[in-house]
Structure 1
Amino acid sequence: MWTRAFRKAVDALGAVISAHQGMTIPLTAIAAVAAADLLAGRNHFLAPMMVMAPALAVVTTAWKRTLLIGLLGGAVQAALMPYDGVLDTQDRRILAGMAISYLTVVLFSAYASWWREVRTEQYRAVVTVAEAAQRALLRPPGPRVGGVSLAVRYASAADAAQIGGDLYAVLDTPHGVRALVGDVRGKGLEAVQTSAVVMGAFREAAYDEGGLAGVARRVDASVRRHVMDGEFTTALFLEFPAQRRAAEDAEIELLHYGHVPPLRVSPDGRVTSLDPPEPWVPLGLTGFVRGAPEPWRVPLGADEVLVLCTDGVIEARDPRHGGFYPLAERVGALVAGAARDLEAAVGRLYADLLGHAGGTLGDDSVLLLLARPR
């Protein structure tokens, strides 16, 4: 009789495994306990170990299925009792206590699984709203803005976030294509709030101001007005002028506020660091110095690629040796001749960065590639 009951239980087990995902582990636990009990012989009652099945189901499946797992485990235990001779040798009060204990575990497991589901749904709702808000703040540009091609990789160090303290924007304005790459001091919500101030001010000023220096002054004024004292943002402003000469003679304008210098990669892989003639302090700290930074111009020929990044890229450490990521040494081979396919180039560069860092980045990071192909 017990063999028929056990075979029915095994058949039910196989049917449930094939029908539902997430139940494989707890159902395997039931099968393993049943097999161990049978192999141990009639004088060994191992079925109480079945309590592990609903406990495992808590983290692998829904609460209804957890309850089903518990009931199935109880049924298998009951089917094994005649085989092990428990009904003849054990006090019925002890058996009743075991049954009540097992039922308590099953009910608690079902409740814990239900609570996990509720919390997971709440978390998903919060993440969905946060991602929508973050995307509205960042407004990722398309692969072409004005006459400029671009590709970007953005990574946030914050869990479940698409934006952190690093920021970027590329806008097509009446004065030309203007871009900003910045890095807010700190991480988390406060950094995102500062990013919102910087991005909002830049989007307004980039259309209104005739010169890049005026854009930067407007953004700096907003940071000093709306961000708490002592907080700052490194930034690099860039402009592709609207009126330009032939592509071979084209120039871009740069303005530095304490940020990582950009790199220019020629079609043959030569890398040039575009260091500012006069480095300046970050946005928010300009009240402590006199004067203002001056924009400078550099040539950017057709099919040359401009590589902008934040310090999360160049400060990414190799977990084995502790060395920083050698961007200037590697970018030439990875980006050379890619002005017409920047997306593939930034993919190669970002993959190389992750490989150097062991698969994860410990800080917010932006990789932005810009080019004006023929």
Structure 2
Amino acid sequence: MRSSRFRAALEALGTAVSAHQGMTTPLLAVMAVCVADILVGPNHFLAPLMVVAPALAVATTTWRRTLVVGAVGGLAQAVLVRYDATLTSHDRRILAGMAVGYLTVVLFSAYGAWWRELRSRQFQAVVSVAEAAQRALLRPPGPRVGGLRLAVRYSSAADAAQIGGDLYAVLDTPYGVRVLIGDVRGKGLDAVQTSAVVLGAFREAAYDEDELTGVARRVDASVARHVPDGEFTTALFAEFPGGEGAPAGNEIEMLHYGHVPGLKVAPDATVTTLEPPEPWVPLGLTRFVTGAPVPWRVPLSPDDVLVLCTDGVVEARGHADGEFYPLAERIGPLVAGAADDLEAAVEQVSADLLEFTAGTRTDDSVLLLLARGRPAVSGVTGVAHAPVGADQRALRARSSAYSGHHWPAGGPPLQGPSDSPGGLTHR
């Protein structure tokens, strides 16, 4: 409670400081006019230049403070009138007209500042809604999903946007952790809409289909139904098997739909390009070809790092020679041995890419690093759909009693209201 109040107080203080800083420029303008009038002497009347102050306040501060600036400028003009001795009957008529004009400028300036504040609040509201919608669409995963460690960097080429035509998802399913990375043809709102179709279909199919090829077929069918003809999405699917009946060893399954091949970085910095045995067409174009994509398996130990990216990374051009970023050549030393600290590794690669391009990247990009979790000490590999709190701790405490047995898909016959319907997963 105290910390939240302290943060609120700091935010209020920052707002107040910013608002007062916004008055600095118009008040300096008032001072400049006064100093200039005094320096040139009483024979030159520079007070009409005071209209600059409220005009500047329109862009820098609130409408109330704009009125304050106008009042300060008006008082300064009154002082200059006496200093310049412009109080004859003829001068008074001129001064009256000048005062009316100055007051008009102040009022219009205050109105302009009020309108700017209103539009700014409306814009902030729209930005907040847009950011929430973007987060809901992309749903950035945490540093660990199931038995998988990961780190990701997403960059959108669109101004004020967090997402674009590049997409990714990492899901912990009953069949293991399933990964999708893709790149929608085009940019802008149309690309975001296609991303929503692809991600939505993947999030549904990944939990329903027992084969990775079935997941891909469902996603492709959704693209064919909901995306205009001629639009397509390159994609790369990966599955880290887990659970009952999973294949032995450290192999992962991959499925190619016209996407940039992944890379495997070994602890000794050896980089292997994971080219598909039979490259396939992107999602949305499969109706023009016969046959089906062929999945293949890749060995991946807990010390290896799987690198997935979109073409925004490998097609980023260097600022010096215009060459493409050589990801396969540069990533080895940056990622090798970093399976336990993927966040630092992805930060190093991102910094290297930014230095290579001198910050001139113009395309969306996703850089995703993945590594297997370390094998568990006991025979139990994990708990699926476990409840939270005390019930979860109780279920974990009882799991050791079943580590030497193989139960049906429904799991061991645990009793009590806290039992998980998913049961325990064993190998």
**Once the two structures are superposed, what CA deviation does each residue of 1:8-64 show, in whole Å capped at 9, x if it has no partner?**
xxxxxxxx9998232122222222222222222222222322222222211211111
Match of 1:238 in 2: 238
Between the two structures, name the one with larger relative contact order (CA 8 Å, sep ≥ 6).
Answer: 1
Deviates more, 1:262-271 or 1:322-331: 322-331
Tell me the CA shift for residue 71 of structure 1: 1.7
Please state whether the residue corresponding to 2:60 is helix, strand or coil: coil
Are 1:150 and 1:368, in contact at CA under 8 Å, matched by a contact in 2? Answer: yes
Percent sequence identity is: 74
Residue 24 and residue 339 in structure 1: after superposition, are their counterparts in 2 closer, same or farther (change >3 A)? same
How many residue pairs were aligned?
356
Matched, 1:182 2:206: no
Check the 8 A contact 1:17/1:23 in 2, yes or no.
no
Shift of 1:70: 1.6
User: Equivalent residue for 1:22?
Assistant: 22
State the secondary structure of the residue aligned to 2:29. Answer: helix
How big is each residue's C-alpha offset from its partner over 1:274-329, in whole Å with a ceiling of 9 and x where there is no partner?
A: 12222211100111111111011111122111111111222223345433323222
Structure 2 SS opposite 1:239? strand
Alignment partners' CA distance in 2, 1:17 and 1:168: 41
Taking the TM superposition and a 5 Å limit, the aligned residue runs for 1:306-317 are 306-317=306-317
Aligned match of 1:331: 331
Q: Could you tell me which residue of structure 2 aligns to residue 4 of structure 1?
A: none
- Between stretches 345-354 and 129-138, larger displacement belongs to 345-354
| Residues 1-374 of structure 1 aligned to structure 2 (within 5 Å) | 20-88=20-88, 91-242=91-242, 243-245=246-248, 249-359=249-359, 361-374=361-374
Superposed CA RMSD:
2.1
Cα offset, 1:65, TM superposition: 0.9
Cα displacement (A) at 1:339: 0.7
TM-score by length of 1: 0.89
How far the C-alpha of 1:372 sits from its partner, in A, is: 1.2
Letter matched to residue 329 of structure 1: E
Q: Taking structure 1 as reference, are residues 276 and 114 closer, same or farther at Cα in structure 2, changes over 3 Å only?
A: same
Residue aligned with 2:107, SS: helix
Q: Answer with 144-153 or 65-74: which moved more.
A: 65-74
Within 2, Cα distance between the matches of 1:340 and 1:269?
15
The aligned residue for residue 8 of structure 1 is: none
Q: Given that residues 305 and 335 in structure 1 are in contact (C-alpha distance below 8 angstroms), is that contact kept between their aligned partners in structure 2?
A: yes
Match of 1:11 in 2: none
Code of the aligned partner of 2:58? V
Query: Separation in 2 of the partners of 1:292 and 1:40?
Result: 87
Answer yes or no: is the 8 Å Cα contact 1:239–1:253 preserved in 2: yes
| Maintained 8 Å contact 1:303/1:373 | no
Q: Is the 8 A contact 1:17 1:24 kept in 2?
A: no
SS of match in other structure, 1:104: helix
Bigger drift between 78-87 and 222-231 goes to: 78-87
Instruction: List alignment gaps of at least 5 residues for structure 2.
Output: 1-15, 375-427
Q: Distance in 1 between matches of 2:324 and 2:96?
A: 65
Matched residue SS, 1:180:
strand
Q: Distance in 2 between matches of 1:345 and 1:81?
A: 68
Q: TM-score scaled to structure 2, two decimals?
A: 0.79
Higher mean C-alpha deviation, range 180-189 or range 19-28: 19-28
